[in-house]
Homo-oligomer: A and B are copies of this chain.
């Protein structure tokens, strides 16, 4: 406060009458320093509002304690950027990283156009990378994996990949959602979303498996392919009903936002949910239970997932092998689907 030119370790050392090394060790809680001295110096630092210069320590230690989190967005539509689910994952990662002493540098695939490994890791901006979403294209991610940089991806862990993927059991999720509709006596169950998107394609497989087990025919016209935004889903359902009439009595949506769009299209046509059409979402975003009717959905445990992702990333920092890991999902039965 009083002294305006910024305080450094050297300055603090002078103030305390000890060497720079001693202050450095004390502030890093190094047990080499006598506990008494350590506490005295820490108190002094606090008193003078001193904080170690991270740029300097990062340069010296070659470690940043920063993790770059990259939202792997499919397109530049506003919708996909603001999908509450993605942002929930960011929030949970923030928490998990902080608990381990890491900071979160936020970026997304639309901004970071260069080689990610080069940009974030070689440049000492971050120690590792977490990519949220495998999306349709994984070439950037592969590039990072090739470079050997510490990397964890939120996506579909069942996909074989040469990097660690953490994600929900999407196939099972799709299966349970579909099975739930089958049990509710739905006969013509549609799949709404993008079957080519990594995570979504697994949900699609689960959907097909459930149909088969139930002895229901798989009909291609029940695969309602659309972008994974509410708007696209809304348009798709509207167009479908316009051209073919209401030819389905159940919808397995690939995300809650997609389900939301579908619900709106149905309600506008006075189609009862779940009376005429049952619907199951995916994600369990905060809003799901607040919709009317409350949305039955497959809950992804993002908090647990975030912790696992950080754990796997830290393993790589320590030179250990990182593994893909499956996070449990759970069917949340609410009001948008008929009960058995």
A residues in contact (CB < 8 Å) with B = 6, 49-56, 58-59, 62, 64, 66, 69, 78-79, 81-82, 84, 87-88, 90-91, 94-95, 98, 103-108, 111, 115, 118-119, 122-125, 230-231, 234, 257, 260-261, 263-264, 267-268, 285-287, 290-292, 294
- Chain B residues with CB under 8 Å of A50's CB are 122
- Chain B residues with CB under 8 Å of A257's CB are 287
- Chain B residues with CB under 8 Å of A123's CB are 51-54
Bound-state Cα–Cα, A125 to B65, Å? 11
In the complex, the answer to whether A59 meets B53 with C-beta atoms within 8 Å is yes
Bound-state Cα–Cα, A285 to B230, Å? 13
- Given known pairs A55-B124, A115-B49, the reply for A287 and B290 (CB within 8 Å) is no
The majority secondary structure among interface residues of chain A is: helix
The listed residue (B54, B78, B82, B87) touching A125 by CB distance below 8 A is B54
- Chain B residues with CB under 8 Å of A122's CB are 6, 49-51
Q: What distance in Å separates the Cβ of A262 from its nearest Cβ neighbour in chain B?
A: 10
In the complex, the answer to whether B91 meets A51 with C-beta atoms within 8 Å is no
9 cross-chain pairs, A with B, having the tightest CB-CB distances, nearest first:
A55-B58, A87-B87, A51-B123, A55-B59, A51-B122, A267-B292, A55-B124, A98-B111, A104-B106
